[in-house]
């Protein structure tokens, strides 16, 4: 087996101390740029491979960030990962990705595993079935920064990156009401999760502001997979809705496909609006109205916020104040929700949203963890 090149070999070849070699390979400002360049050139020539694991352990850091997702098979999740990776690459951090598959028990196991991997920080979106957050306590007890995004634990002592889901739900429902739809069915997921609870609150508020009654028989929750979505859609159709606000574009596309198979005209008979702005929404016919959920920006913001906290900890400074950062979302009006006579032509329309004001009260639906 060929002997591996060490910093001692580089030191002998360049007649420099091993300390200088080590500092140069770590890009230390204590070594002049020309010397650093010379050392790196020799390292490449001799085939030296830096042991980053050993180097990081000496510095008591792994240069690794854990990313815990509730799923990986969606356009939103891949967009968030792209945003995270953009920032971590620029900052020379690696990422370890784990996903819960919407299973709270699997989330607990993944959280422990990432903790034992000695990640420098953690970015999290909660699983659908998570009911408690004790599994994150080891991170807080060790002062390891944690940032939640999208599905957040509202009472946790850490920063959170979200969109205004109440406002987005209000805008989606308000648009359907502006088009003349009145019996708007709402297909959502567990109201235990903040995103779905808040979108439901926006839906109710849009009805209330227009003096329309809220009908609980027009609201159904499910996992938003194909089978469950079709089951609740069939249940809701018995209430004779004239529109659907569905909090997931995939589930909305499933409903559209089945309704059209049955001869239902969209949007003439039933209007539909989704949520997330997945790519498939612009490919199906009619094109799906939706809420643009900027996943890449959310991922970038989460990574920037976390790395800022990691750097403060590394430099022995006081931890940054916990922030709740709201990323802007946009109502995208396409063909699936616009009645004949006001159908948009050509490009998607980004429109001013219906006027919205928070009242500072909670609906009492759902719960916090």
Give the pLDDT score at 345: 42
Note the pLDDT of residue 55: 53
pTM: 0.79
Residues (pLDDT < 70) of the chain are: 1-2, 50-62, 318-320, 341-369
8 A C-beta contact, residue 275 and residue 293:
yes
Tell me which H or E stretch contains 206. helix 194-209
The string of pLDDT tens digits covering residues 37-73 is 898 888 888 878 766 555 555 555 668 999 999 988 8
- 304-336 per-position pLDDT tens digit: 999 999 998 877 776 667 889 999 999 999 999
Both tokens of residue 30? 């204590």
- The residues near 13 (Cβ < 8 Å, ≥ 6 apart) are 42, 46
Q: What does DSSP say about strands 290-292 and 94-99: parallel, antiparallel, or unpaired?
A: unpaired
Nearest partner of 242 among 335, 169, 180, judged by Cα: 180
146-158 in b/e burial notation, b at 16+ Cβ within 10 A?
Answer: bbbbbbbbeebeb
DSSP code of residue 218? G
Question: In whole angstroms, what is the distance from residue 166 CA to residue 307 CA?
Answer: 29
User: Which ranges in 267-353 belong to alpha helices (H)?
Assistant: 295-314
Instruction: Say what the pLDDT of residue 367 is.
Output: 42
């Amino acid at each position: 087996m060929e002997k591996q090149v060490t910093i001692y070999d580089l030191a002998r070849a360049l007649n420099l101390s091993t300390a200088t070699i080590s500092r140069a390979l770590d890009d230390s400002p204590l070594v002049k740029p020309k010397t650093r360049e010379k050392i790196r050139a020799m390292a490449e020539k001799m085939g030296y491979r830096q042991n980053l694991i050993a180097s990081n352990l000496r510095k008591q850091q792994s240069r690794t960030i854990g990313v815990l997702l509730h799923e990986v098979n969606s356009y939103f999740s891949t967009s968030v990962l792209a945003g995270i990776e953009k920032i971590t690459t620029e900052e020379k951090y690696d990422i370890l990705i784990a996903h819960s598959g919407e299973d709270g028990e699997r989330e607990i196991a993944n959280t422990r595993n990432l903790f034992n991997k000695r990640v420098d920080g953690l970015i999290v979106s909660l699983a659908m079935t998570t009911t408690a957050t004790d599994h994150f306590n080891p991170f807080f007890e060790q002062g390891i920064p944690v940032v939640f995004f999208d599905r957040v634990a509202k009472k946790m002592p850490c920063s959170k990156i979200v969109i205004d889901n109440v406002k987005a739900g209000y805008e989606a429902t308000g648009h359907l009401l502006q088009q003349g739809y009145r019996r708007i069915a709402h297909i959502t997921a567990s109201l235990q999760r903040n995103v779905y609870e808040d979108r439901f609150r926006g839906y109710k508020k849009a009805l209330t502001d227009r003096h329309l009654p809220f009908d609980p028989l027009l609201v159904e929750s499910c996992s938003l997979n194909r089978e469950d979505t079709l089951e609740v859609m069939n249940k809701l159709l018995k209430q004779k809705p004239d529109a659907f606000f569905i909090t997931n574009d995939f589930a909305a596309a499933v409903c559209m496909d089945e309704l059209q198979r049955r001869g239902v005209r969209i949007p003439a008979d039933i209007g539909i609006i989704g949520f997330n702005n997945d790519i498939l929404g612009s490919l199906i016919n009619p094109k799906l109205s939706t809420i643009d959920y900027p996943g890449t920006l959310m991922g970038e913001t989460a990574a920037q916020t976390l790395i800022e906290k990691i750097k403060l900890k590394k430099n022995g400074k006081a931890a940054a104040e916990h922030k709740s950062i709201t990323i802007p979302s946009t109502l995208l009006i396409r063909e699936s929700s616009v009645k004949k006579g006001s159908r948009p032509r050509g490009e998607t329309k980004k429109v001013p949203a219906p006027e919205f004001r928070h009242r500072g009260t909670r609906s009492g639906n759902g719960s916090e963890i």
